[in-house]
């Protein structure tokens, strides 16, 4: 999965030696920009990584740091595998790695997917 042209990149950058907690937030309402309709609820979700992100060593937390969702907010803890932390792709301007949130809602079991980028650069 390549990062779509209009996908946003999180403002907070990630050093490859650190862990980064991300909190993608859904909007809900009647406006066109809102992702969920009034009263619509997320019934299941998954947070995935592109092949490029996996090759760069990006990992999603598990066990007590596993992705979760509550009150319109997704949570994911990201980290770079120790053996990849010194990779040259993180030097200079770094690299933007794609992350994807896919979820279903209680309105006709609709499936929605949103992609965003995480800038990983050695500070």
Checking if the pLDDT of 4 tops 90, the result is no
Q: What is the DSSP secondary structure assignment for residue 28, as one 8-state letter?
A: B
Claim: this prediction has a pTM higher than 0.75? yes
Across the chain, what does the average pLDDT equal? 93
Which residues, including other chains, have CB under 8 Å from residue 25's CB and lie 6 or more apart?
Answer: 72, 73, 74
Give residue 23's pLDDT band: very low, low, confident or very high (50, 70, 90).
Answer: very high
Report the C-alpha dihedral over residues 100, 101, 104, 105, rounded to 10 degrees. Answer: -140
Please name the residue that has the structure tokens 């950058």.
13
- Reported as a single tens digit per residue, the pLDDT across 38-74 is 999 999 999 999 999 999 999 999 988 999 999 999 9
- Which of 111, 123, 118 minimizes the C-alpha distance to 57? 118
The domain segmentation of the chain, as residue ranges, is: 19-120
Which residues, including other chains, have CB under 8 Å from residue 19's CB and lie 6 or more apart?
Answer: 61, 77, 78, 79
Q: Which H or E run includes 55? A: helix 51-55
Q: So what's the pLDDT on residue 2?
A: 73
Taking residues 71-81, report their average pLDDT: 96
């Amino acid at each position: 999965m390549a990062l779509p042209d209009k996908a946003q990149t999180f403002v907070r950058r990630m050093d490859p030696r650190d862990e980064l907690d991300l909190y993608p937030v859904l909007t809900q309402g009647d406006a066109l920009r809102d992702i969920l309709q009034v009263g619509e609820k997320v019934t299941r979700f998954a947070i995935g990584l592109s092949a490029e992100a996996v090759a760069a060593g990006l990992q999603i937390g598990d066990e007590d740091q596993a992705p979760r969702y509550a009150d319109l907010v997704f949570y994911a803890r990201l980290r770079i595998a120790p053996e990849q932390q010194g990779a040259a792709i993180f030097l200079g301007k770094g690299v933007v790695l794609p992350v994807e949130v896919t979820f279903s809602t209680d309105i006709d079991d609709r499936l929605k997917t949103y992609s965003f980028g995480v800038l990983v650069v050695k500070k």
